[in-house]
């Protein structure tokens, strides 16, 4: 479908964006549903974010996604934050509506929906999360608000450790879920927490560039633990390979990407993304 005089613009802001699958995912969906929208990607640095938002408002843009390094940097320009975005202090989807800029985070719900798609039940379960960066905090907030009973977070004991402890306290108060933060260097505690966990989530970038690295000794993995990774390239990180060898059910981050996009699509258009079509056209099987 070619753009018309009434085409609504949605886009991605961040840097780099040239590798992004989001334009293919959204434009294929618009086309399939006959929606007069068009999705583009713009390479925008942190210094240019205000100018970019002003320009998009002037152009009557419908909304936009944010990727690295803008998920926190956008917050001062948002008029209304969703509860999940406020708690996670992260925004990956914006909507211009009624003269206001509304901010949402769909990464966490994207991860939960990917688990559901993979047949993983997270309700009332105990989860261990590795890392406390943008992806991790969005997942922790969504998991806490959507029925996970306990979350153990393992994080390096560096200058941001105390702020993650504060974050965990806020989430514990805002939900029915208890969130604890531990030092990643404490292997004994990690093994103990994995023993009591139903699901492990690697939400760090360890295993992406350094493909032979994993934060979890393979002896800690056991058959009944479900092991997941936010990374989708490579399709199987060292952690997921070790987990498969230990007989665990595994899931990578591929469908987190799909479902965060589907949630954004719903915010902009009010319609469901055609999931099966997008899996077939935009997500090649591994």
Q: How far is the CB of 115 from ligand NAP (least distance, A)?
A: 12
Minimum CB distance to ligand NAP smaller for 63 or for 253 = 253
3 state SS of 52: helix
Q: Which residue has the tokens 């926190």?
A: 72
Q: Which residue is nearest to ligand NAP (CB)?
A: 133
Minimum CB distance to ligand NAP smaller for 100 or for 233 = 233
- Helix 134-145 with 107-117: angle, nearest 10 deg: 70
Catalytically annotated residue among 50, 62, 71, 123 = 71
H helix or E strand, kind and range, residue 65? strand 63-66
**Residue numbers at the binding site for ligand NAP (CB under 6 A):** 107, 131-136, 155-156, 158, 160, 184, 203-206, 208, 215, 230-232, 253, 256-257, 260
Tokens of 175: 């939900």
Minimum CB distance to ligand NAP smaller for 97 or for 156 = 156
Q: DSSP letter at 82? A: -
Q: Could you give the angle at the alpha carbon of 116 between the alpha carbons of 142 and 217, nearest 5°?
A: 75
Q: How far is the CB of 41 from ligand NAP (least distance, A)?
A: 15
> Could you please report the per-residue DSSP string of 20-47?
-SHHHHHHHHHHHHT--EEEEEEE--GG
Tokens of 124: 């009332």
Query: Any catalytic annotation for residue 71?
Result: yes
Size of the chain, expressed as the number of residues it contains: 286
Side by side, which strands form the sheet with 126-130?
178-183, 150-155, 126-130, 199-202, 226-229, 250-251
Minimum CB distance to ligand NAP smaller for 35 or for 184 = 184
Q: How far is the CB of 62 from ligand NAP (least distance, A)?
A: 22
Q: How far is the CB of 239 from ligand NAP (least distance, A)?
A: 12
Catalytic residues: 71
């Amino acid at each position: 479908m070619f753009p018309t005089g009434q085409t609504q613009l949605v886009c991605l802001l961040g840097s780099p964006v040239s590798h992004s699958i989001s334009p293919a995912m959204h434009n294929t969906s618009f086309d399939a549903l006959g929606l007069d929208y068009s999705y583009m990607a713009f390479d925008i640095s942190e210094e240019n974010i205000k100018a970019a938002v002003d320009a998009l408002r002037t152009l009557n843009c419908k909304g936009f996604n944010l990727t690295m390094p803008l998920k926190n940097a956008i917050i001062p320009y948002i008029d209304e934050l969703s509860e999940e975005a406020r708690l996670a202090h992260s925004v990956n989807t914006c909507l211009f509506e009624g003269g206001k800029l509304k901010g949402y985070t769909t990464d966490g719900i994207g991860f939960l929906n990917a688990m559901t798609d993979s047949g993983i039940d997270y309700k009332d379960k105990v989860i261990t999360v590795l890392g406390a960066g943008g992806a991790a905090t969005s997942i922790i907030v969504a998991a806490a608000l959507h029925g996970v009973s306990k979350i153990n977070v393992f994080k390096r004991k560096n200058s941001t450790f105390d702020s993650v402890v504060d974050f965990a306290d806020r989430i514990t108060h805002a939900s029915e879920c208890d969130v604890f933060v531990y030092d990643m260097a404490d292997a004994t505690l990690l093994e103990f927490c994995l023993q009591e966990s139903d699901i492990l989530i690697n939400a760090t970038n360890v295993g992406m560039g350094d493909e032979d690295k994993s934060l979890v000794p393979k002896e800690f993995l056991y058959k009944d633990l479900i092991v997941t990774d936010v990374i989708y390239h490579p399709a199987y990180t060292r952690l997921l390979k070790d987990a498969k060898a230990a007989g665990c059910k595994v899931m990578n981050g591929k469908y987190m990407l799909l479902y965060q996009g589907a949630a954004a699509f719903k915010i902009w258009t009010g319609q469901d993304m055609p999931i099966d079509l997008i899996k077939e056209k935009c997500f090649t099987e591994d």
